[in-house]
């Protein structure tokens, strides 16, 4: 009897996340759930000042409390242990505190209650120093210095200049100039920050971490601890969300390790929700002064950007978001010239980290609003205007990005058609000045983002180890971390596709730095692209090894065979030659036995930025266009977003279910940024460290979402796929702002578009009209 | 399983009758637990601490239920917000209670939160307080005196003395809230701020009630929440509306007067400007709605 297996594909199918059932029923064991023998609980005393000299700190009563095993202050940690990308942070602060997060003491105790009591027994005397919260004040000549070794309170700076700006200005018929102020938001991971540190008898550290970049995490953590990075093993239990917040080392992590070292016991440290709001990184707030030019015929000419970033007291990845902001300013639409400058300025505010969209959220708010304003100024609709200025396939941007597989104009066209955009926009604009408190508006925004990694480190690679066992089950050991984004399902699919075995027969191992091969980390929408390419290459090597053996066995050419449905088959007709598991066992137990185990290290064909930040730093780029339809109550200022139409270049759909979840989740996160989320920081203090007053979107507020995937078939991506995760968040806020304008004629340059802000802007305009009429 | 004992709690009581409960209260230093939706959150936040005795009143059947006698409606202190939502007869005679309950917190909180708790918590933003003030309700307070249960009745408008503060003495238990069953023609409306359909603590809440006959509004009651230290009856607005024909000018005058009645502050949820603005907007909406229906 012959078995015939037709060619089939798992790519593009709907594959549930393998971790989903356990998460849904509460079986997943997070760090919060972990307990090790003799484990202690760590707690941190954060300062209650924003800028002050510590005159004295008395921990004697805390140390004397029964059940307390260690109380550490800066005195216990040599000053030299600076960490962070600008080497300006230390785990425990002595001498002076610079922001409300500052960690001044830490306790390890037998229970959480004892640790809390111990913190209350610590007595600190301060002498307050003048606080700096505003970037302009911090740059004044006589401003207090926040760090002695950072003169003028200047942090990192970035600039990019290309094209002839003067000529481009001269050719412009209309020049727009606005200052945008984008705000603080935070990730709101369902799982608060947590870490568990454990030393073995040889002084080697095992750290149970939520990190999304386990391999470089070791390198970054080591200096804070005076430990060799090679002596750190990172184990990654499942995390309750990351979104970029776990892409750096934050003080609670070395502090927990220091407590473990001091007590010679495992120590676990978990933030409360309030601690999380105050101490977890934020999105980078920035003040952006943007001048943009356009010719009467609708050709965009130049952008001139000056921006100041409120660095806060220490430097994390937030201060590096200009890397990405300048990419948006230089490459979101075709330009003749670009001038970009950004300066991070130290203040006594909390500090920002990386956050889904990484600077592009901030930059696209500016570029997409200016595009809307330009279209109106030259009398074009935003779709035609966008298409006119969208780059073509293969075009190179001023920063050297090569836009292969570029379908930007097509996305705009589809968005226009699917939403009847131009007709609706005209209708709503005509209704704007008629009576009635409810107005309707439609708004569009677009952006570009890297979709094939981002070569900001020496390598942007990912390693894979793949093994097949005697039963044709595959295990893929990948450097790529699962942080909820769904990489495990995607890798199972890719292995399944290449080896012709069921998805359920693939196991992913990626939670232990002692086992996994190196990967740069989960960021930059890179994981499906980079880890997917590596997995595919490792699988193809395994397939080649299997087919070579099977071909010699059947006395045919390897090219005549294929793997399908758990069988080795003849490519031409699908007739089974042998079952795959049988072939694997034969290979294993024959005389010159061989196991099918392959490895791969994939380095994408991208280049690091050179001088003037020019370089084709991603192996692929992608665009997204969002259309927002909203109803605005012009009295209360409430914007009700009713529908969002998303059109995104996804390269190729790998897991349709994961893709939808990423895009919908990204849209909802972007809506919170647009409408309601704001970490209110006043004089350095967080005023709303709770979900009551920090308003994330709730289920009933989520609008209808219509998703359109355009498959550009990336020439570099695995099976044609592109990275997709950040664009949905990036493009929402300006689309909402443009819809608000369409409905009311009001432009708001400082999100979020809260009811109060909208109501006030409309009220002030109407007062102005009333006065003008008098 | 975590122990229910918290630092500071030395005794736990779960009486089955009002008489037993007020005797426990008479010992002093007792924290009363009903739904717990405000209490536990405030303890966790460190704003209040438990007394020596934690008294769970949820087993007291006398505190349950809605009843009607002698033209007055009585709502037991343990009646949950969900009970109010589900009570068709109550919604028939006093629609504003269901309308308000439908905007209260979230479904989970509504299932646990009680009317008595919402009143005793005395938040300036307490949603259920607004319709009960519109209904000119009284609260009944019980205590143990001379070997027996003693009760007194306090007008709800005189009950609140500041944020979180009421005239209830430490030895008193709020047992029920009562009000005259509204007569035919009585209209009452509630509005609160917020884009969220749930879990929105009121930035401003407002209520308007009265009897509209031949276009003239009488027995006017105006209530504002979250714009003063306590939910308040807006006297100037009531005066501006009482006995007037409810036309555009009256509505504008009533809304303007309501703005004069309140003393909102800037806080993390809104500026004083926005609160004033919303008071005017809500008053205009509520009064227009009364005039048109």
A253-287: pLDDT as tens digits: 999 999 999 999 999 999 999 999 999 999 999 99
Q: Give the CA-trace dihedral at A391, A392, A396, A398, to 10 degrees.
A: -20
Please name the residue of chain B whose CA is at the shortest distance from the CA of residue A640. B195
B196 and A698 within 8 Å at the Cβ level: the answer is yes
- Return the residue in A636, A676, A703 with the most chain B beta carbons within 10 A, the one to mutate for interface testing: A636
| pLDDT tens sequence across A110-149 | 999 999 999 999 999 999 999 999 999 999 999 999 999 9
Q: Count CB-CB contacts under 10 A for residue B40.
A: 14
A771 pLDDT band (50/70/90 cuts)? Answer: confident
Q: Count CB-CB contacts under 10 A for residue A88.
A: 22
* Percent of residues, chain A, with pLDDT higher than 90: 97
A701 and B268 within 8 Å at the Cβ level: the answer is no
Contact B156, B133 (CB under 8 A): yes
Comparing CA positions, the residue from A276, A152, A310, A318 lying closest to residue A684 is A310
A226 pLDDT band (50/70/90 cuts)? Answer: confident
In chain A, list all ranges with CATH 3.90.1170.50: 36-129+194-242+246-279
Helices (H), chain B: 18-26, 39-44, 81-86, 88-93, 95-101, 107-112, 115-121, 129-134, 235-241, 248-261, 272-292
- Return the residue in B5, B103, B195 with the most chain A beta carbons within 10 A, the one to mutate for interface testing: B195
B195 pLDDT band (50/70/90 cuts)? Answer: confident
Q: CA–CA separation, B220 vs A732, rounded Å? A: 46
| pLDDT tens sequence across B88-104 | 999 999 999 999 999 99
CATH number given to A286-454+610-771: 3.30.365.10
| pLDDT tens sequence across A601-614 | 999 999 999 999 99
Lowest mean per-residue pLDDT among B3-12, B138-147, B245-254: B3-12
Rounded to a whole number, what is the distance in Å from the CA of A289 to chain B's nearest CA? 27
Residue B234 has pLDDT above 90, yes or no: yes
Q: Does B44 touch chain A (CB under 8 A)?
A: no
Contact residues on chain B for A640, CB-CB shorter than 8 A: 195
B198 and A687 within 8 Å at the Cβ level: the answer is no
Residue A774 has pLDDT above 80, yes or no: no
Lowest mean per-residue pLDDT among A282-286, B148-152, B181-185, B277-281: B181-185
Residue B5 has pLDDT above 60, yes or no: no
What is the arithmetic mean of pLDDT over A512-537?
A: 97
Residues in A whose CB is inside 8 Å of some CB of B read: 113, 635-636, 638-640, 675-676, 680, 687-688, 692-693, 695, 698, 700-701, 755-756, 759-760, 763
Residue A707 has pLDDT above 60, yes or no: yes
A190 pLDDT band (50/70/90 cuts)? Answer: very high
Q: What is the pLDDT of residue A79?
A: 59
Q: Choose among B196, B197, B274: nearest Cβ to A760.
A: B274
| pLDDT tens sequence across A675-695 | 999 999 999 999 999 999 999
The answer for A745, left when phi > 0, alpha when psi is -120 to 50, beta otherwise, is left
Residue B41 has pLDDT above 50, yes or no: yes
B196 and A635 within 8 Å at the Cβ level: the answer is no
| pLDDT tens sequence across A331-359 | 999 999 999 999 999 999 999 999 999 99
Strands A704-710, A639-649: pairing is parallel
Strands (E) across A74-173 are located at: 96-97, 103-109, 123-128, 154-162
- ipTM of the complex, rounded to two decimals: 0.94
In chain A, list all ranges with CATH 3.30.365.10: 20-26+461-602, 286-454+610-771
Residue B44 has pLDDT above 90, yes or no: no
What is the arithmetic mean of pLDDT over A178-189?
A: 98
Q: CA–CA separation, A252 vs B176, rounded Å? A: 50
- Residue B31: which H helix or E strand, with range? strand B30-33
Q: What is the pLDDT of residue A80?
A: 61
A-B contacts at Cβ under 8 angstroms:
44
Q: What is the pLDDT of residue B2?
A: 42
Q: What is the pLDDT of residue B6?
A: 62
CATH number given to B186-292: 3.30.390.50
**Which CATH architecture best describes the domain A36-129+194-242+246-279?**
Alpha-Beta Complex (3.90)
Contact residues on chain A for B193, CB-CB shorter than 8 A: 636, 755
| pLDDT tens sequence across A556-586 | 999 999 999 999 999 999 999 999 999 999 9
| pLDDT tens sequence across B160-188 | 999 999 999 999 999 999 999 999 899 99
Answer CATH for A20-26+461-602 from 1.20.1090.10, 1.50.10.10, 2.40.50.140, 3.30.365.10: 3.30.365.10
Q: What is the pLDDT of residue B3?
A: 44
**Which CATH architecture best describes the domain B11-56?**
2-Layer Sandwich (3.30)
CATH number given to B61-180: 3.30.465.10
Q: What is the pLDDT of residue B199?
A: 85
- Return the residue in B192, B268, B270, B283 with the most chain A beta carbons within 10 A, the one to mutate for interface testing: B268
């Amino acid at each position: 009897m012959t078995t015939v297996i037709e060619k089939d594909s798992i790519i593009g199918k709907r594959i549930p996340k393998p971790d989903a059932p356990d998460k849904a029923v509460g079986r997943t064991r997070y760090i919060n759930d972990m307990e090790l023998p003799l484990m202690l609980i760590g707690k941190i005393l954060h300062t209650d000042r924003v800028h002050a000299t510590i005159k004295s700190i008395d921990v004697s009563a805390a140390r004397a409390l029964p059940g307390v095993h260690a109380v550490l202050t800066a005195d216990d940690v040599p000053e030299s242990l600076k960490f962070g990308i600008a080497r300006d942070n230390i785990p425990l602060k002595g001498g002076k505190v610079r922001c409300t997060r500052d960690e001044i003491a830490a306790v390890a105790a037998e229970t959480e209650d004892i640790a809390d009591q111990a913190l209350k027994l610590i007595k600190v005397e301060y002498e307050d120093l003048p606080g700096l919260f505003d970037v302009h004040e911090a740059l004044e000549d006589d401003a207090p210095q926040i760090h002695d070794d950072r003169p003028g309170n200047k942090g990192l700076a970035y600039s990019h200049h290309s094209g002839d700006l003067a000529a481009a200005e001269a050719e412009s018929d209309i020049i727009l100039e606005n200052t945008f102020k984008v705000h603080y938001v935070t990730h709101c991971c369902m799982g608060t920050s947590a870490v568990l540190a454990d030393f073995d008898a040889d002084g080697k550290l095992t750290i149970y971490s939520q990190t999304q970049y386990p391999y470089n995490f070791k390198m970054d953590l080591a200096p804070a601890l005076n430990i060799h990075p090679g002596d750190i093993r990172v184990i990654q239990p499942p995390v309750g969300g990351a979104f970029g917040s776990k892409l750096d080392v934050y003080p609670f992590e070395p502090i927990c390790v220091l407590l473990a070292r001091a007590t010679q016991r495992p120590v676990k440290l978990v933030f409360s929700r309030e601690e999380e709001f105050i101490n977890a990184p934020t999105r980078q707030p920035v003040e952006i002064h943007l001048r943009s030019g356009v010719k009467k015929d609708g050709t965009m000419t130049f952008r001139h950007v000056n921006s100041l970033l409120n660095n806060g007291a220490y430097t994390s990845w937030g201060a590096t978001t200009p890397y990405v902001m300048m990419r948006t300013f230089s490459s979101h639409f075709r330009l003749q010239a670009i001038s970009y400058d950004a300066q991070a300025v130290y203040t006594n505010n909390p500090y920002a980290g990386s956050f889904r969209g990484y600077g592009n959220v901030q930059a696209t708010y500016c570029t997409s609003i200016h595009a809307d304003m330009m279209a109106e100024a030259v009398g074009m609709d935003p779709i035609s205007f966008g298409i006119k200025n969208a780059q073509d396939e293969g075009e190179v941007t001023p920063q050297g990005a090569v836009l292969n597989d570029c379908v930007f104009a097509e996305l705009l066209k589809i968005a226009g058609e699917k939403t009847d955009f131009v007709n609706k926009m005209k209708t709503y604009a005509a209704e704007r000045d008629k009576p009635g408190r409810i107005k309707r508006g439609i708004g569009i925004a677009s952006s570009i983002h890297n979709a094939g990694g981002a070569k900001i480190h020496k390598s942007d690679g990912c390693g894979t180890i793949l093994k097949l066992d005697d039963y044709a089950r595959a295990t893929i050991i990948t450097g790529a971390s699962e942080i909820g984004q769904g990489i495990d399902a995607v890798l199972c699919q890719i292995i399944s596709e290449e080896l012709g075995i069921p998805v359920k027969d693939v196991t992913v191992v990626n939670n232990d730095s002692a086992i996994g091969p190196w990967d740069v980390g989960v960021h930059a929408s890179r994981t499906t692209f980079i880890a997917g390419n590596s997995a595919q290459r490792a699988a193809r090597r395994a397939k080649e090894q299997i087919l070579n053996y099977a071909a010699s066995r059947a006395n045919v050419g390897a090219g005549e065979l294929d793997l399908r449905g758990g069988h080795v088959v003849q490519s031409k007709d699908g007739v089974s030659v042998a079952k795959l598991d049988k072939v694997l066992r034969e290979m294993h137990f024959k005389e010159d036995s061989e196991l099918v185990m392959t490895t791969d290290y994939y380095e994408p064909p991208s280049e690091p930025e050179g001088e003037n930040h020019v370089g084709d730093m991603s192996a692929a780029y992608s665009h997204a266009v969002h259309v927002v339809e909203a109803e605005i109550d012009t009295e209360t200022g409430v914007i009700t977003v009713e529908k969002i139409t998303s059109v995104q270049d996804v390269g190729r759909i790998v897991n349709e279910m994961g893709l939808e979840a990423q895009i919908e989740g990204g849209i909802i996160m972007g809506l919170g940024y647009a409408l309601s989320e704001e970490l209110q920081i006043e004089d350095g203090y967080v005023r709303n460290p709770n979900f009551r007053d920090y308003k994330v979107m709730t289920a009933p507020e989520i609008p209808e979402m219509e998703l359109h995937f355009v498959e550009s078939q990336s020439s570099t991506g695995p099976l044609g796929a592109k990275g997709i995760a950040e664009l949905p968040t990036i493009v929402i806020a300006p689309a909402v702002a443009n819809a608000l304008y369409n409905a009311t004629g009001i432009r708001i340059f400082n999100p979020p578009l809260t009811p109060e802000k909208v109501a006030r802007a409309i009220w002030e305009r109407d007062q102005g009209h009333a006065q003008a009429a008098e | 399983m975590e122990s229910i004992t918290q630092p500071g709690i030395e005794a736990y009581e779960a009486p089955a009758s009002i008489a037993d409960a007020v005797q426990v209260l008479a010992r002093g230093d007792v924290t009363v637990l009903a739904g717990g939706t405000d209490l536990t959150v405030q303890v966790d936040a460190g704003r209040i601490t438990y007394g020596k005795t934690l008294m769970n009143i949820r087993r007291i059947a006398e505190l349950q239920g809605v009843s009607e006698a002698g033209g007055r409606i009585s709502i037991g202190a343990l009646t949950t917000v969900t009970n109010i939502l589900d009570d068709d007869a109550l919604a028939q005679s006093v629609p504003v209670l269901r309308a308000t309950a439908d905007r209260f917190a979230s479904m989970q909180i509504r299932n646990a939160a009680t009317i008595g708790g919402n009143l005793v918590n005395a938040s300036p933003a307490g949603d259920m307080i607004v319709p009960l003030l519109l209904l000119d309700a009284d609260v009944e307070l019980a205590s143990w005196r001379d070997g027996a249960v003693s009760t007194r009745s306090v007008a709800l408008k005189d009950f609140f003395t500041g944020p979180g503060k009421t005239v209830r003495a430490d030895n008193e238990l709020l047992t029920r809230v009562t009000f005259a069953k509204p007569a035919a023609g009585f209209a009452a409306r509630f509005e609160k701020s917020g884009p969220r359909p749930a879990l929105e603590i009121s930035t401003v809440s407002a209520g308007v009630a009265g009897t509209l006959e031949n276009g003239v509004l009488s027995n006017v009651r105006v209530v504002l929440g979250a714009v003063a230290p306590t939910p308040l009856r807006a006297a100037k607005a009531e005066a501006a509306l009482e006995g007037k024909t409810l036309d555009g000018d009256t509505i504008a005058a009533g809304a303007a007067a309501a703005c004069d009645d309140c003393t909102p502050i800037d806080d993390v949820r809104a500026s004083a400007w926005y609160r004033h603005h919303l008071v005017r907007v809500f008053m205009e909406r509520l009064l227009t709605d009364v005039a048109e229906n």
